[in-house]
């Protein structure tokens, strides 16, 4: 595929640049997409993930998704939209107990990030070398490769942000309405994963209104696509409305959890998660978006990145929330390096990139093969052991109730083969799955406070703690295991007291 002719707006000559909407368009040549080299990079990432995806047992979140999707399918959940539980259910139906099968959507999402980041560079004028460097940056990023091992929102959501950035950049280049409509369709999917991408869109729209191109926000294709996105997510929004918008409680809990010191960790962890080359390109790419004359038509995206970062710094957010902005900064960075080489004739940056990316690749490969696995099977079995040791007459009227949705999901996953009934929990989505039956007068609790349990049961005895199985991955280790007998009242009266929307419960 050769170069193609497109319309693109150059900066005005002399003085400050005119607003993007007011510049005259001229025809320039845009490089072809480097399918071959970029596919080689993506293939390397795929091989690494395929080799290592089965080394990690199911995480707590994956177990929760699986239980929600298989046992409690719904249009929505208090802590997230339905896509991840649906995917977990589908992968389990197709591949059974295969860990690799469960992680295939995560691997696919990571590859999407590789191709999308290279595509953004191409839209900005990046030739083959720049596109490959953009792809390599994703391939050596801890955030993308480590997330690629797990079916999680942190895996699926950032590539959606990258796709939206690519389609917005493409619209700037082509002014084709289909690009904005496509971005809206990606948004519709992303909203089924996490209610986070509107922050990115609001930042893009605000920056476009201030710095141009202002007509971005008036395009009919964008608003038609927005209507489609809302319609697609209508059932999920209806579920939230019918249940009192519990997503806002979860968001407030996250903000509280990551307030204070957590906010100061956000930027350093964002840089560390980007990888060796990714951290450098993240900063250089942002600076280039804000200052480079050759990227002036995309300057609003630099301000959108800053606005998004400021939002999460102020409100608090998990460290992966900023992973969605990586792609546009990386693409701008490698394209700006190409521009510097073109203007100076020096290629020192090319030689500097070799050791940086060799080191980055080595670190990613090493971390992918590190000895670590999920503690959930061993910890679930330890709790089930307590249940099985109860006298038969007591066990008949006993249920298991962990404080975390991950351990509850683990009991649901590994308990049936040992004849254990479904688990219950007050944590996030599990509380909405229902209370124990009124016949359950006794509970094996994991992780609750003794004072709380004594208000609702006549006897509460600690019989052990969740073991630290030395897997190198955090779980519920150290939490007390209680046997509580003699429910004082009914579950209909008691169950509301166990509802917990906080993320870090004891």
Judgement on whether residues 362 and 382 belong to the same structural domain of the protein: no
Structural contact between residues 128 and 31, judged by C-beta atoms closer than 8 angstroms:
yes
Condensed to tens digits (0 to 9), the pLDDT of residues 71-109 reads 999 999 998 999 999 999 999 999 998 999 999 999 999
User: Which candidate, 164, 173, 130, 153, places its Cα nearest to that of 308?
Assistant: 164
Judgement on whether residues 284 and 224 belong to the same structural domain of the protein: yes
Judge whether residue 454 has pLDDT over 70.
Answer: yes
Which of 1-15, 26-40, 188-202, 330-344 is predicted with the least confidence, judged by mean pLDDT?
Answer: 1-15
In whole angstroms, give the CA distance from residue 110 to residue 148: 6
What pLDDT sits at residue 339?
A: 86
**Residue 256, domain member (yes or no):** yes
**Residue 170, domain member (yes or no):** yes
Structural domain span for residue 224: 36-368
Judgement on whether residues 269 and 305 belong to the same structural domain of the protein: yes
**Residue 281, domain member (yes or no):** yes
What pLDDT sits at residue 505?
A: 46
Mean pLDDT within 233-250: 92
Condensed to tens digits (0 to 9), the pLDDT of residues 199-222 reads 999 999 999 999 989 999 999 999
- Residue 465, H or E segment: strand 457-465
**Residue 129, domain member (yes or no):** yes
**Residue 29, domain member (yes or no):** no
Query: For residue 16, what are the contacts with CB-CB under 8 A and spacing of at least 6?
Result: none
Domain total in the chain? 2
Residue that is last in its domain, among 324, 343, 368: 368
Three-class secondary structure of residue 480 per DSSP: strand
Judge whether residue 252 has pLDDT over 90.
Answer: no
Three-class secondary structure of residue 175 per DSSP: coil
**Residue 250, domain member (yes or no):** yes
Condensed to tens digits (0 to 9), the pLDDT of residues 370-426 reads 766 778 888 999 999 999 999 999 999 999 999 999 999 999 999 999 989 999 999
**Residue 20, domain member (yes or no):** no
Torsion angles phi and psi, residue 367, rounded to 5:
-70, -30
Judgement on whether residues 420 and 343 belong to the same structural domain of the protein: no
Token pair in block for residue 262: 């957590």
Residue that is last in its domain, among 329, 351, 368: 368
Mean model confidence pLDDT for the chain? 87
Local confidence band at 18 (pLDDT 50, 70, 90 cut-offs): very low
Three-class secondary structure of residue 427 per DSSP: strand
What pLDDT sits at residue 134?
A: 96
Judgement on whether residues 422 and 386 belong to the same structural domain of the protein: yes
More confident residue, 349 or 20: 349
Judgement on whether residues 98 and 194 belong to the same structural domain of the protein: yes
**Residue 15, domain member (yes or no):** no
Local confidence band at 503 (pLDDT 50, 70, 90 cut-offs): low
Judgement on whether residues 48 and 113 belong to the same structural domain of the protein: yes
What pLDDT sits at residue 237?
A: 95
Judgement on whether residues 59 and 157 belong to the same structural domain of the protein: yes
Quote the strand ranges of 375-447, DSSP E: 398-402, 442-446
Judgement on whether residues 486 and 348 belong to the same structural domain of the protein: no
Local confidence band at 8 (pLDDT 50, 70, 90 cut-offs): very low
Token pair in block for residue 78: 């208090």
In whole angstroms, give the CA distance from residue 134 to residue 147: 18
What pLDDT sits at residue 285?
A: 96
Judgement on whether residues 459 and 411 belong to the same structural domain of the protein: yes
More confident residue, 349 or 354: 354
What is the CA 221 to chain-centroid distance, rounded? 27
Mean pLDDT within 40-54: 93
Local confidence band at 334 (pLDDT 50, 70, 90 cut-offs): very high
Residue that is last in its domain, among 351, 368, 385: 368
Mean pLDDT within 427-432: 90
Mean pLDDT within 116-136: 96
To the nearest 10 degrees (0 to 180), the angle between helices 128-139 and 326-344 is: 140
Judge whether residue 482 has pLDDT over 60.
Answer: yes
Mean pLDDT within 122-143: 94
User: Which candidate, 281, 284, 273, places its Cα nearest to that of 318?
Assistant: 273
Judgement on whether residues 321 and 249 belong to the same structural domain of the protein: yes
Q: Which residue has the tokens 């476009």?
A: 208
Judgement on whether residues 87 and 127 belong to the same structural domain of the protein: yes
What pLDDT sits at residue 348?
A: 59
Q: DSSP letter for 80, please.
A: B
């Amino acid at each position: 595929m050769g170069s193609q002719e497109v319309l693109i707006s150059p900066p005005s000559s002399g003085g400050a640049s005119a607003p993007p909407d007011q510049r005259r368009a001229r025809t320039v040549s845009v490089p072809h997409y480097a399918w071959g080299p970029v596919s080689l990079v993506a293939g390397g990432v795929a091989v690494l993930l395929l080799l290592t995806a089965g080394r990690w047992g199911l995480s707590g979140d994956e177990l929760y998704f699986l239980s929600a999707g298989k046992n409690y399918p719904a249009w929505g959940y208090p802590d997230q939209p339905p896509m991840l539980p649906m995917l977990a259910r589908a992968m389990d139906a197709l591949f059974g107990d295969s860990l690799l099968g469960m992680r295939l959507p995560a691997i696919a999402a990571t590859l999407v990030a590789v191709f999308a980041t290279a595509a953004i560079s191409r839209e900005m004028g990046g030739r083959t070398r720049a596109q490959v460097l953009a792809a390599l940056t994703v391939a050596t990023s801890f955030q993308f490769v480590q997330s690629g091992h797990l079916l999680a929102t942190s895996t699926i959501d950032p590539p959606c942000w990258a796709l939206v950035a690519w389609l917005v950049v493409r619209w700037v280049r082509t002014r084709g309405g289909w690009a904005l409509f496509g971005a809206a369709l990606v948004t519709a999917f992303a909203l089924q994963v996490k209610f986070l991408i509107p922050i990115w869109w609001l930042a893009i729209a605000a920056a476009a209104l201030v710095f141009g191109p202002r007509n971005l926000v008036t395009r009919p294709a964008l608003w038609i696509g927005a209507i489609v996105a809302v319609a697609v997510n209508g059932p999920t929004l209806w579920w939230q409305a019918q249940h009192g918008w519990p997503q806002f409680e979860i968001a407030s809990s996250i903000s509280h959890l990551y307030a204070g010191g957590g906010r100061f960790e956000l930027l350093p962890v964002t840089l560390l998660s980007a990888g060796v080359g990714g951290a450098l390109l993240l900063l250089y790419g942002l600076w280039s978006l804000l200052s480079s004359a050759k990227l002036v038509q995309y300057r609003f995206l630099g301000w959108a990145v800053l606005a998004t970062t400021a939002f999460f710094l102020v409100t608090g957010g998990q460290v992966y929330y900023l992973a969605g902005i990586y792609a546009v900064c990386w693409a701008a960075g490698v394209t700006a390096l190409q521009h510097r080489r073109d203007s100076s004739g020096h290629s020192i940056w090319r030689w500097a990139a070799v050791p940086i990316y060799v080191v980055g690749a080595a670190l990613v490969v090493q971390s992918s093969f590190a000895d670590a696995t999920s503690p959930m099977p061993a910890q679930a079995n330890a709790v089930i052991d307590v249940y099985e040791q109860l006298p038969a007459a007591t066990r008949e009227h006993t249920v298991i109730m962990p404080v975390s949705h991950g351990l509850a999901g683990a009991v649901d996953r590994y308990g049936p083969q040992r004849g254990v009934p479904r688990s219950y929990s007050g944590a996030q989505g599990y509380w909405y799955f229902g209370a124990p039956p009124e016949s359950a007068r006794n509970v094996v609790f994991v992780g609750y406070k003794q004072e709380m349990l004594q208000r609702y049961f006549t006897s509460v005895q600690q019989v052990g703690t969740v073991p630290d199985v030395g897997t190198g991955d955090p779980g519920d280790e150290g939490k007390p295991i209680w046997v509580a007998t003699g429910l004082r009242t009914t579950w209909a009266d008691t169950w509301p007291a166990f509802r917990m929307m906080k993320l870090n419960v004891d």
